[in-house]
Homo-oligomer: A and B are copies of this chain.
Amino acid sequence: MKRPTIADIARRAGVSKGAVSYALNGQPGVSDTTRKRILAIAQEIGFNANSAARALSGARARAVGLTLCRPARILGIEPWFMGLISGFEAELGAQSYALTLQVVATPEQEVEVYRRWWGERRIDGVIVTDLRENDLRIPVLHQLQLPAVVIGGSGEESPVTQIWSDDGGAITEAVRYLVALGHSRIARVSGVPDLLHTQVRTKAFNEVCASLGLSDAITVPADYTGEEGSRATRRLLIGGDRPTAIIYDNDVMAVAGLAVAQEMGLSVPGDLSIVAWDDSPLCSLVHPPLTALSRDVSGYGAQAARELLNAIDGKKVGNVKAQTAHLTPRGSTAPPRT
């Protein structure tokens, strides 16, 4: 009933606890035959090293932390986080690292969680999302010397490793595609304006629209929720000179926008074309299925986890550029009906 320790193995194998430790961890210091004997015994009695004892003797906690900073009502249907989590796991599981999760309400609270986790030595590093301008978390991470990887930066120089993707390039592709279809009044419903990648997208959107001579290009800020997506869409469609195409900064708002169009009796894509950022099964779930800017979210997560494990191992890691999102055309985009 009592869970076995290395002392039990040592006794049964007739060796010291040190020898057992070396054998189990693949360290030199034991002969091949004793190693095999020890491993066989460990296997037989179902031994798992006490993680607290390992952590205490200077080894790692073998856990990384992730905080989720979203109101509960949006967390549930935002496919993004779960995709990311799947990706982390694929990488962490292989190295038997655990993932510790905490839901927080504000960035301040998030910083507190980092301090506590690190103080408790509960985790060896953290994955940080939703980077903002002058993000208050960055100096804290730096000061704590807490290994971290930031997702969603702009790729600029930073004291903390970033995984970033060329969102500007992706949105430029989307706009060019819509223009090629014949659209000239293109609007955008953005995510939270504070977020760095929102700013990158907004800048690129404005630039490409200006360069293509689209004077009506307008961005309405929202917050990724369906409610705000609906509100922003209504605002855009109510006007006299309404856009013939809208690009949304996430899939949830795009689905909400589609519902608003249907509710107003507009046909999609006849009267309105819709492009969603972040392709998830949600986009294929609705009718018509949504044209989306796709990327491999869980691959992105796996990459982040890999870099974090490197950072934890003390390897110097620089910023990493992930795959750029690419356009996946589906039924929600077409030439505008004239």
Give Cα A118 to B49, complex, Å.
10
Determine whether the beta carbon of B46 is less than 8 Å from that of A119: yes
Q: Looking across the interface, which residue of chain B has its beta carbon closest to that of A284?
A: B226
A181 partner residues in chain B, CB cutoff 8 A = none
Partner of A77, one of B46, B49, B122, B281: B281
Of the candidates B51, B78, B263, which one forms a contact with A287 in the assembled complex, judged by CB atoms under 8 Å apart?
B263
Chain B hits for A115, CB < 8 A: 46, 48
Q: Are A103 and B85 in contact, CB atoms less than 8 angstroms apart?
A: yes
Asked if A74 is at the interface of the complex by the 8 Å CB criterion, the answer is yes
Chain B proximity of A67: nearest CB distance (Å): 10
Q: A219: which B residues are within 8 A, CB to CB?
A: none
Quick one: given A50-B120, A55-B52, A287-B260, are A103 and B86 in contact (CB under 8 Å)?
yes
Is there an interface contact between A100 and B103, defined as CB atoms closer than 8 Å? no
CB-nearest residue of chain B to A65: B98
Copies of this chain, count:
2
Tell me if A72 is interfacial: C-beta within 8 Å of chain B. yes
Residues of B within 8 A of A89 (CB): 101-103
Q: Does A329 sit within 8 A of B, measured CB to CB? A: no
The number of chain A residues touching the other chain, given as a range, is 35 or more
Residues A100 and B49 in contact, CB atoms below 8 Å apart:
no
What is the minimal beta-carbon distance from A48 to any residue of chain B, in angstroms? 3
Q: Report Cα–Cα, A258/B288, bound state, in Å.
A: 11
Closest to A61 in B: B52
B102–A101 touching, CB < 8 Å? no
Do A47 and B119 form a contact, CB below 8 Å, given A76-B79, A82-B75, A101-B85? yes
Check if A3 sits within 8 Å of B255, measured CB to CB.
Answer: no
Q: How far is A182 from B73 in the complex, measured between Cα atoms in Å?
A: 34
Residues of B within 8 Å of A50, CB to CB, are 56, 120-121
B81 A82 Cβ-Cβ under 8 A: yes
Complex contact A86–B72 (CB within 8 A)? yes
Contact call B77/A282, Cβ cutoff below 8 A: yes
- CB < 8 Å neighbour of A3 from B51, B118, B281, B289: B118
- CB–CB A119/B61 < 8 A: no
In the assembled complex, which residues on chain B have CB atoms less than 8 Å from the CB atom of A280? 76-77
A263 to B76 CA separation, bound complex (whole angstroms) = 27
Within 8 A of B (CB), among A66-104: 72-83, 85-86, 89-90, 93, 96, 98-103
Closest Cβ neighbor of A99 among chain B residues? B101
Q: Select one of B73, B281, B289 contacting A76, CB under 8 A.
A: B281
Q: Could you list 28 examples of A-B contacts with CB < 8 Å?
A: A1-B145, A47-B119, A48-B120, A50-B56, A51-B52, A51-B55, A51-B61, A52-B53, A52-B121, A53-B56, A63-B100, A73-B281, A75-B82, A75-B85, A76-B80, A76-B86, A76-B280, A77-B79, A77-B285, A86-B103, A93-B102, A93-B103, A98-B122, A100-B101, A226-B284, A255-B286, A258-B286, A258-B287
Q: List 11 additional A-B contacts (Cβ < 8 Å) besides A50-B56, A76-B86, A255-B285.
A: A48-B120, A73-B281, A75-B86, A77-B77, A77-B82, A99-B100, A101-B101, A252-B285, A258-B286, A259-B289, A260-B287
